Structure 1
Amino acid sequence: MADIQTYLDSLRKDITFDVELREQALHFRSTWGLFSPREIDEGTRLLLSHIKIAEDADSLDIGCGYGPIGITLARLAPRGNHLLVDKDFVAVDYANRNIKDNKLDNAEAVLSNAFDQVGDRQFDIIVSNIPAKVGKEMLLLILYDALAHLKPGGQLYVVTINGLRKFMKRHFEEVFGNYKKLKQGSNYTVARAIREPGDTY
């Protein structure tokens, strides 16, 4: 019984690891129950490798988890402001801890079901590692709300499992009028859409 208690106690401790993302040395803590708690997942790495961001760009990370995408963007764009959102309060708590641990003063994480707590903020870049089981209804909400929250010329970057690639292409073209596949790997596809000046819904 003592052995199982010791094991359970170890599971309750924060998981911590150091990683380099986009040539940025970062430290993360996470916990069981969050997505990919012990390491940066393949989709996140693929997405980050294809994002172009200016030093003064403002970004929004939808479904941030414990924060690897939004925190990396905050490092790459030190003169921008960066918002990370997730509907899981545990994820938001860990994202804020990781923002503090990585000594960032240009980022914050808030509890929000996609865009519902974002207000009227506008962004140069919106990013999301979209969960496979989010549902097509939520995907459509994310796309239309992303259009509304991007500055003219702003860009939406997403990574999805390959099974959603055709859905994303069709609806990127429907919502934004454009679609670019940046990379299709063995499991994931990274795609981008741009809000053209004058685009609204």
Structure 2
Amino acid sequence: MLTKEQVDRLRDPIDFEAEVAGRTLRFASTWGLFSPRAIDEGTHLLLEHIEVGPAADCLDLGCGYGAIGVALAVLAPQGHTLMVDKDFIAVDFAERNARRNHLSNARALLSNGFDQVPADLRFDRIASNIPAKVGKELLAILLHDAHARLKPGGRLYVVTINGLREFMKRNLKEVFGNYDKLKQGAHYTVGMAQRGD
């Protein structure tokens, strides 16, 4: 059993640094968020294979504490990056991590998928580390909404556990009409679909 002092220490934010997008970035996280002590293997794999122009407008869908979104804001300093999550704690930490890395071009928003994203916003890049238990209904909503919110030629990048790669491939082909497997690692697969012009 933990002592009161040990439990109190667990309440403190978890601080760590990570090499992301060619920079050493600082993150704060907390217990209850996904991969709170370090950027997970799947996110690292996604960030190694995403192509982002310096003026791209980006969305981190299901941002957690903002690892993907912060990296996108670094890669696209002349663009704007929006990070969304349905967990208000995640949004708070994502916003905090944008500030602690001095990124004025990134912000976080509480949103269940796209439901609170302003209707007029369109993106060049949408990226997501899709949870293994997302469910086919929510996945269908997210993929159709992502397609609708991409600019012509815009790309959706996703990383999933390998067990979901065929499922994701089928769904992306159904919604976007195309799919490109960028990398299959030991545990995760990065896929990409592009909206037509």
TM-score by length of structure 2 reads 0.97
Equivalent runs, 1:1-201 vs 2, <5 Å: 4-120=3-119, 121-197=121-197
Runs of 5+ unmatched residues, structure 2 = none
SS of residue paired to 2:171: helix
Q: Deviations over 1:96-120 (max 9, x none)?
A: 1111111110010000001111122
In structure 1, C-alpha distance between the alignment counterparts of 2:29 and 2:156, rounded to whole Å: 26
What is the root-mean-square deviation of aligned Cα atoms in Å?
1.0
Deviations 1:4-63 (A, max 9, x none): 011001101110011111211100000100000000100000000000000000000000
Decide whether the 8 Å contact of 2:21 with 2:74 is kept in 1: no
Q: How many residues align?
A: 196
Identity of aligned residues (%): 62
Give the Cα separation in 1 of the matches to 2:129 and 2:61: 8
- Listed one character per residue, the Cα deviations across residues 36-92 of structure 1 (whole Å, up to 9, x for unaligned) are 000010000000000000000000000000001000110111000000000000000
Q: Separation in 2 of the partners of 1:24 and 1:57? A: 18
Q: Which runs of 4+ in 1 moved over 3 A?
A: none
TM-score by length of 1: 0.96
Secondary structure of the structure 2 residue equivalent to 1:49: helix
Equivalents in 1 of 2:138, 2:188: separation in Å? Answer: 19
Q: 1:135 & 1:119 partners in 2: Cα distance?
A: 25
